[in-house]
A and B are shown apart, each in its own frame.
Chain A
Amino acid sequence: MAPRWSKSLLVAAFSIVSTFFFNTSRAQGKIDPSSIILDHIADGHEFHFFTFHGKVASIPLPVVLYSPQRGWSVFMASHWEHGAVTYAGYRLLTEEFITANHLDEKVYKNGKVVAVNTDGTIDPSSKVYDFSISRNVVQMLITVILLIWVMGSVAKKYKAGTGVKTAPTGVQGVVEPIVVFLRDEVGKVNLGDRYEKYMPFLLTVFFFILINALIGLIPGTANVVGNIAFTGALGILAFLVIMFSTGKHYWLHILNPPVPLGVKPIMIPVEILGIFTKPFALIIRLFANMISGHIIILSFIILIFVFGAMNTALGWGTSPFFILLAVFIYLIELLVAFIQAYIFANLTAVFVGLAFEGGHEDGHGHAQEAVVI
């Protein structure tokens, strides 16, 4: 059996190694936190683990580009050598390239792909559409494969009979409480007896957000849920689901709210805006929660290097303190991942429930029955 202190040794080794997972130019001695943070939370064409004395440890990913003028280009991101060279007429923009060629920073952002002429200058006439298999895509695909595999095998087990009349076994023990919780507390409570049609969407949204958020907490993985495109797509899907569940009653209440005549001109635009602000709030809430968690953890670790640049002993001395803080925030982020996935699913269910009946159960419009004793 392994010695008692082997777990503590693993924790210590992980803490020290995790501080290597950051791209700091040790040659300069001047750390630029905001660009390091942006590099980590943005999408990229490779999985970048660390840069040690100029050697980069990363996994390059396929680049798929389409330009109406030049057609399709598919190649591995390693050909770009992290933005140092031009390949196949395209270049990955880096900070150095932008400042060296005095490009307009608003248009040519760090990390974008631009088309270049043979002499190396930017070709402004070629528009580039980037369809690459980037970090986020790979991580989402991993989540999709994981979910299909786990849920598929659990469903097969239920079909075979285990866990239906007998106690659930294996992974069923993890999946069943969560699914039952979502069905009872989110589906049935908000959607009444029409919950079954919406359970696939709610469960998928919940598990997709949860697993992507949990994988994103591992150092070196991509920041998927803290990406406005990801949450935006989920919010748009939720918006479509809500719109497809509306009834006549709902639109009557939006366009003719049951308020006094004087208030109606104010309420109608507010109600119409409300149709859009609810999914928008879903998008922003999920995005901001996840990205703020990532930024806080990154900031604490970068602070170690900022202190280290001032004075090496200070850097080493404060590092245990900051690592402990980062671990504390990690635990909070675990909780936040679960809570945000639950909130997204719950609020979508609440809004769908509101769309069913227009949100008023005070019996107006329905005949009041006389009490007969």
Chain B
Amino acid sequence: MTLMTILLDVAQPGYGAIGAGLAAIGAGIGIGLVGKGAVEGIARQPEAANDIRANMILAAALVEGVALLAAVAGLLAVFSKGS
């Protein structure tokens, strides 16, 4: 069987799940980078920990918002009664 026939056999909800998984990778990388920057900043200047933490949470929420847009699309596909 060719790759194309295998891909076409997957039902709609399956693709939704794959899409949501890819979005999770994006969220993981994005928030990981934010956390890395924040932790390094705190290591260099511990007195700024509070300011850095507030900005880290803000940036993490923005990144997560984008990733969750894709997760919602995946969710819609999973819960649709597609063929």
Alpha-carbon distance A63/B61, docked complex (angstroms): 38
A339 touches B79 (CB 8 A): no
Which 7 residue pairs across A and B have the least CB separation, nearest first? Answer: A288-B68, A285-B65, A343-B61, A288-B72, A281-B65, A284-B69, A288-B71
Q: Is A81 an interface residue (CB 8 A)?
A: no
Q: Which of B54, B64, B78, B79 contacts A289 (CB 8 A)?
A: B64
* Distance of B9 from chain A, by nearest CB (Å): 20
Residues of B with C-beta under 8 A to A282: 65
A292 touches B68 (CB 8 A): yes
Q: Is A132 an interface residue (CB 8 A)?
A: no
* Distance of B21 from chain A, by nearest CB (Å): 13
Alpha-carbon distance A285/B75, docked complex (angstroms): 14
Size category of the B interface is 10 to 19
Given A284-B69, A347-B62, 12 extra CB contacts under 8 A? A281-B65, A284-B68, A285-B64, A287-B72, A288-B65, A288-B71, A288-B72, A291-B75, A339-B57, A343-B57, A346-B58, A347-B61
Interface readout for A272-297 with B: 1 if CB under 8 Å, 0 if not? 00000000011011011101100100
A285 touches B61 (CB 8 A): yes
Residues of B within 8 A of A (CB): 54, 57-58, 61-62, 64-66, 68-69, 71-72, 75, 78-79, 81
B65 touches A292 (CB 8 A): no
Alpha-carbon distance A282/B66, docked complex (angstroms): 10
Q: Is A34 an interface residue (CB 8 A)?
A: yes
Q: Which of A105, A289, A346 contacts B68 (CB 8 A)?
A: A289
B81 touches A284 (CB 8 A): no
Alpha-carbon distance A291/B79, docked complex (angstroms): 13
Q: Which of A185, A285, A291, A292 contacts B54 (CB 8 A)?
A: A185
* Distance of A186 from chain B, by nearest CB (Å): 10
B61 touches A292 (CB 8 A): no
Quick one: closest A residue to B72, CB to CB? A288
Alpha-carbon distance A285/B58, docked complex (angstroms): 12
30 contacts between A and B (CB under 8 A): A34-B78, A38-B79, A185-B54, A281-B65, A282-B65, A284-B65, A284-B68, A284-B69, A284-B72, A285-B61, A285-B64, A285-B68, A287-B72, A288-B68, A288-B69, A288-B71, A288-B72, A288-B75, A289-B68, A291-B75, A292-B68, A295-B75, A339-B57, A339-B61, A340-B61, A342-B57, A346-B58, A347-B58, A347-B61, A347-B62
Residues facing B in A250-287 (CB within 8 A) are 281-282, 284-285, 287
Residues of B with C-beta under 8 A to A105: 81
Residues of A with C-beta under 8 A to B54: 185
Alpha-carbon distance A287/B68, docked complex (angstroms): 9
B61 touches A281 (CB 8 A): no
* Distance of B75 from chain A, by nearest CB (Å): 8
Residues of A with C-beta under 8 A to B68: 284-285, 288-289, 292
Alpha-carbon distance A339/B71, docked complex (angstroms): 19
Residues of A with C-beta under 8 A to B64: 285, 289
Alpha-carbon distance A295/B71, docked complex (angstroms): 12
B79 touches A34 (CB 8 A): yes
Residues of B with C-beta under 8 A to A38: 79
Residues of A with C-beta under 8 A to B66: 281
Alpha-carbon distance A295/B72, docked complex (angstroms): 12
Among A284, A288, A342, max chain B CB count under 10 A is at A288
Quick one: closest A residue to B23, CB to CB? A288
Residues of A with C-beta under 8 A to B61: 285, 339-340, 343, 347
Alpha-carbon distance A281/B69, docked complex (angstroms): 8
* Distance of A34 from chain B, by nearest CB (Å): 6
* Distance of A298 from chain B, by nearest CB (Å): 13
Alpha-carbon distance A34/B65, docked complex (angstroms): 24
